[in-house]
Structure 1
Amino acid sequence: MPLGPLRARDASARELMDEPGCDPEALERTYARFGLVNAVVSAPGAVRRRWIVPRLRADRPLRVLDVGTGGADLPRSLARWAASRGARVEVLGIDPEPRAIAYARALPPVEGVALRQAATGDLVAEGRRFDVVLSNHVLHHLAPHELGALLADSERLVAPGGVVVHGDIERSMLGWLGFAVGTLPLEPTILRGSFIRADGLASIRRSWTAAELAPALPDGWRVRRAVPSRLEVVHEP
């Protein structure tokens, strides 16, 4: 479907939750709804099957880093999924945003999940390594130079034989319309008092297309399309 008004990436689009003075109660409700939204739009089951399951180990836990963890719904769901199958994972969720980490730490703890207010550069400086480095809906927040820095840090953080997968929305009119229509009836109920709908539509306007990302990637990286209306930027050393 043609992009129409979404033909160009709108890097000026602002997400309400990123504003330092945003309503703290609405922000907390937004974090609380991330799990529901990500279950639909982020295809966590497909991510696990393609990137996590083949790397599970019998001799030690799989070391996973979730970059820009937000409310930590993805690390928590991954750890619960692994425990239900007798697999072992250790997931570190990092986010430079103190409000996100404070929210996530206030939730009941989940075994195998650790949280830290940090950026990828902090872990690089410490010499940390992980079998899987993930992010979800982070790339569209980044300017081109920030994207380059994240990819460079990711290369240093992933262990030999591991994988980096930065997943995000792919900008398209179909994706924009699907999210707009799908969330409209939920606005007065499940999504009430949160930033989910407004910020989701802004995120799509800010997001990249595969054609835009591919030439911007360093050697050793590739971009692949996933569903629904998603991209995965992948590095396998």
Structure 2
Amino acid sequence: MRHDLSVRDLDAVELMDAPDADLRMLERTYERFRVVNALVAHPGGLYRRDIRPRARRTLVRVLDIGAGGGDVCRMIARRLRRDGLRGEITALDADERAIRWASARDAGDGVVYRHALSSEVVDAGERFDVIFSNHVLHHLDPSAFDQVLRDSLRLLAPGGVVVHRDIARSRTAYALYSALTLPFASTLLRDSFIREDGLISIRRSYTPRELERSAPAGWSVHARLPARLELRWEQGG
């Protein structure tokens, strides 16, 4: 089936977002996020550029909005410990299923797992030095998108940075993801939502120009490889 990738497909709904999603497939999806994020999202760059420099000055507080299986948070916690640095890492997700699965697999990494909306964390009066999300923006309707950006700024500590990272929609990205994941559909990705939901995610995602138009003044959009976008706010930037 051919899809029109010239516009965002806001009617497409990812299978893992369904309240009645198959729990076994959902948990296998969380498990495989670690591999997908390592290959596509490159969270090590976020750590080196934005987290480690702040941790060298003081204890760094990090918030992951929409943390899913929590793999990126655990990676950050392990790298801070490896580098002899101090941090408090919070994995936040509105889906209780994700938080339950992630918290059961912390294995001593010391991440704080919270089932809540970002607005609830704002109400609690908390502040963070680094706030980020990974593959979350395309899930949000316009109202929720605006709310997450507002909450991000309210939660930001002085000198902090917000980095919302997502997929860049294009025909090339869609074709490459479809081709590269097909050989693994019956092995690595079997019994998960990753292949089908990944294609839906690309259809729902922004182009750089669309994201620039959607974001309020003061936010900057950066295109990264492969097919990546960053929506960024840095105090003093």
Give the TM-score band, short-chain normalised: over 0.9
Q: Give deviations 1:88-137, integer Å, cap 9, x for gaps.
A: 22100010101101111111433331101011101110110000001000
TM-score (norm 1): 0.95
AA of the residue aligned to 2:32: R
Q: Secondary structure of the equivalent of 1:5? A: coil
State the superposition RMSD in angstroms.
Answer: 1.2
1:109-148 paired onto structure 2 within 5 Å: 109-148=107-146
1:63-78 paired onto structure 2 within 5 Å: 63-78=61-76
**1:7, CA displacement in angstroms?**
0.5
Query: Take 1:108 and 1:54, find their aligned partners in 2: how far apart are those partners?
Result: 25
Is the counterpart of residue 84 in structure 1 residue 92 in structure 2?
no
Query: Take 1:195 and 1:120, find their aligned partners in 2: how far apart are those partners?
Result: 25
Structure 1 unaligned residues grouped into runs of 5+: none
2:184 corresponds in structure 1 to 186
Relative contact order, higher structure (CA 8 A, sep 6+): 1
AA of the residue aligned to 2:37: N
AA of the residue aligned to 1:73: D
1:46-65 paired onto structure 2 within 5 Å: 46-58=45-57, 60-65=58-63
Q: Secondary structure of the equivalent of 1:11? A: coil
**1:146, CA displacement in angstroms?**
1.2
- Number of residue pairs the alignment of both structures matches: 233
Structure 2 unaligned residues grouped into runs of 5+: none
1:6 corresponds in structure 2 to 5
2:165 corresponds in structure 1 to 167
AA of the residue aligned to 1:66: D
AA of the residue aligned to 1:8: V
Query: Take 1:227 and 1:91, find their aligned partners in 2: how far apart are those partners?
Result: 26
Query: Take 2:8 and 2:126, find their aligned partners in 1: how far apart are those partners?
Result: 34
Q: Secondary structure of the equivalent of 2:145? A: helix
AA of the residue aligned to 1:90: E
Alignment check: 8 A CA contact 1:95 1:116 kept: yes
1:212 to 210, 214, 229: 210
**1:228, CA displacement in angstroms?**
1.1
Alignment check: 8 A CA contact 2:129 2:159 kept: yes
Alignment check: 8 A CA contact 1:167 1:232 kept: yes
2:24 corresponds in structure 1 to 25
AA of the residue aligned to 2:29: T
Runs of 4+ in 1 over 2 A off after TM superposition: 108-112
AA of the residue aligned to 1:34: F
2:199 corresponds in structure 1 to 201
AA of the residue aligned to 1:28: E
Is the counterpart of residue 157 in structure 1 residue 155 in structure 2?
yes
Q: Give deviations 1:172-195, integer Å, cap 9, x for gaps.
A: 111111211111111111111101
Alignment check: 8 A CA contact 1:79 1:110 kept: no
Query: Take 1:44 and 1:96, find their aligned partners in 2: how far apart are those partners?
Result: 21
**1:138, CA displacement in angstroms?**
0.4
AA of the residue aligned to 2:15: L
Which range is displaced more, 48-57 or 142-151?
48-57
Q: Percent identity?
A: 49
AA of the residue aligned to 2:4: P
**1:216, CA displacement in angstroms?**
1.9
Q: Secondary structure of the equivalent of 1:127? A: coil
Alignment check: 8 A CA contact 2:77 2:89 kept: yes
**1:57, CA displacement in angstroms?**
2.9
Alignment check: 8 A CA contact 2:52 2:80 kept: no
Which range is displaced more, 63-72 or 179-188?
179-188
